[in-house]
Amino acid sequence: MTKLTQTRNYDYVPIIDRPPLMLPKGARVAVVPYINIEHFPENIAGTAIIPGTQQFEPDPLNYGWRDYGNRVGLWRMMDIMDKCGMRGTVCLNSDIIREYPRIIEEGEKRNWAWIGHGINNAPANFLSGIDEEKEREVIGTVLDEMEKALGRKTKGWLSPFLTHTYNTPNILADMGVEYLCDFTADDHPFPFNTKTNSLISVPYTVELNDIPAFMNVGMSSADFGDMIIDQFDMLYEEGATNGRIMPICLHTFFVGQPNKALHLRRAFEHIAGHSDVWMATGDEVNDWYRENHM
């Protein structure tokens, strides 16, 4: 009989078999808001609120709705986060650097973290099904553009649309990336089985994520705010004895809309009202985990 394994990418270690995670300064929960900041070329189909016009070129209905995020929604989110003491971990399409330089300027002022998230959100730049040479080219392009713009190497990566090949973790490790967010499998960081043993997972989520919540599950704006609060309250309780990482994954053209931002603010104010919470970035979680657990 052929022996089956859980995955070639990481080992199975249930949370009950690990030492409790002791977060900095006795925090119960590290809250990490991931802000997906993406460029959708005007002549391709992208995320659509009304799929019926998605195939048209141009498609002003859906393009304008998405563009609201970079023109208005992000700035509303920044204001909310500033007031709650939160900083973003930006999942960045590298085309943003050229198309929307003000975003980079303002994120840098706030000491936000930046992780690679593909060139843009065109399906041609998704990683699934491409050969290793092409994948190295795509990832290398993103990392090079980010280093030129930010003056430092990029530590993290989220694949566009979480598309992946079996080569992805090793390519990222070869290029000096330290953490990957594609596998939403845990409340703790964990190591990947790469050739260099240098890559870890920092938690990301498809549960507490506005696109699946609104487009797949059909939640209301108020429901999504409640979901963030409920997730936090459960993790805060568990974190009294075993620390937890709480990713919150957001897109500017969704929760940047006023009706949704109202409930995002309510949820973030709830979190900020608690003690023993580490308002962290993905880079900070990565650095802390490496220093204390590797």
Q: For residue 6, is it within any domain?
A: no
Within a domain: 237: yes
DSSP 34: E
Instruction: Look at residue 6 and tell me whether its pLDDT is greater than 70.
Output: no
Tell me the mean pLDDT in the region 79-96: 98
Q: Is the Cβ–Cβ distance between 150 and 112 less than 8 Å?
A: no
All residues at 6 or more sequence positions from 106 whose CB lies less than 8 Å from its CB, including other chains: 75, 78
Domain that holds residue 219: 27-293
Cα(161)–Cα(154) distance, rounded to whole angstroms? 19
> Is 226 a domain residue?
yes
Domain-embedded: residue 282 = yes
Domain assignment present for residue 162? The answer is yes
3-state secondary structure of 156: strand
Q: What is the pLDDT of residues 205-249, one digit of tens each?
A: 999 999 999 999 999 999 999 999 999 999 999 999 999 999 999
CATH of the domain at 91: 3.20.20.370
Judge whether residue 4 has pLDDT over 60.
no
Nearest alpha carbon to residue 177 among 125, 142, 222: 142
Q: What tokens does 81 get?
A: 């986060």
Per residue in 9-22, pLDDT tens? 999 999 999 999 99
Residue 11 lies in a domain: no
pLDDT for res 50:
74
Average pLDDT over residues 257-282: 98
H-run or E-run covering 104: helix 101-109
CA distances in angstroms from 119 to 1, 56, 185, 293, listed in the order given: 43, 23, 25, 32
Is 196 a member of any domain?
yes
Residue 242 lies in a domain: yes
pLDDT of residue 126: 86
Looking at per-residue confidence, does 55 or 156 come out higher?
Answer: 156
The structure tokens listed for 53 are 């016009």
What is the count of structural domains for the chain? 1
